[in-house]
Amino acid sequence: MAKSVTTVEEAISVERLSPYCHVSGGDLDAAVQLYIWNAAISGAFWIDIAHLEIFVRNAMHMQLTQWSIKQHNEPRWYLDPAGILTPRRTTDIAIARARLTDGHRPKPETPGRVIAEIPLGFWRFLVSGHYELTLWRWCLHHGFAGQPRRRPLHDRLSRLHGLRNRIAHHEPIHRQPLAQHHNDLLTLVQWINPQLRNWIEAHSTVRSTLATRPVALHATSR
């Protein structure tokens, strides 16, 4: 067993395992078990965050499309007919559109394909204070009927975006307030549609995986 653990340590790298060793008091076996659990809870969260991302972007896309048609007779809101988006956001859109048309197998551009290429960070910034008096007031709030205020939505989405990025880069999340993050996620989805929250809860493995948290972590990472 010791040889096997040492092999895993070498493959993962001492540097990547060091946060787990620190929490485990230098016990390499416990550190590897914690690493395995961190991967399990990351995978469970990744699925729920993927659902959240799709629900959020589709809710916003629907409202933006309806608003753009009404105001500018143009369903492709991402062309920014009103000149509202910041240069950073228009760059995000340009990159998304380029991904469809560049490469060996270009695809016809459709609104659905474009929004599928836009990352979660883009949608997070669309509900930032910068767009409070424009996009939020004009249309986006309609996509979140359960929450009339922008700030609570933005704050939760920002925290979940940060968690998503840590998971995407295989970083430790075991010391994050994971139960609170999951509550944030479910609350966000409920603001879109309570039935969607029920659907995520019915299929999520986050809570059951949290229940298998190594005992040594119970006092330090909730």
Average pLDDT in the 163-184 region? 96
Q: What percent of the chain has pLDDT over 90?
A: 76
pLDDT at 222: 43
- Give 202's pLDDT tier (boundaries 50, 70, 90): very high
Query: How many other C-beta atoms lie within 10 A of the C-beta of residue 171?
Result: 14
Cβ–Cβ < 8 Å for 169, 9: no
Q: Between residues 102 and 116, which one has the greater pLDDT?
A: 116
pLDDT digits (tens, 9 = 90+) for 130-140: 999 999 999 99
pLDDT digits (tens, 9 = 90+) for 153-162: 999 999 999 9
Tell me which residue of 180, 185, 188, 163 sits closest to 59, measured CA to CA: 188
pLDDT at 22: 82
pLDDT at 21: 81
Residue 53 in this model has a pLDDT that exceeds 90: yes
* Mean pLDDT for the chain overall: 91
Query: What is the token pair recorded at 9?
Result: 């340590």
pLDDT at 5: 58
Tell me which residue of 4, 9, 39, 3 sits closest to 21, measured CA to CA: 9
DSSP 18-52: HHHHHHTTT-HHHHHHHHHHHHHHHHHHHHHHHHH
Residue 14 in this model has a pLDDT that exceeds 80: no
d(CA 132, CA 130): 6
Q: Between residues 17 and 81, which one has the greater pLDDT?
A: 81
Residue 8 in this model has a pLDDT that exceeds 50: yes
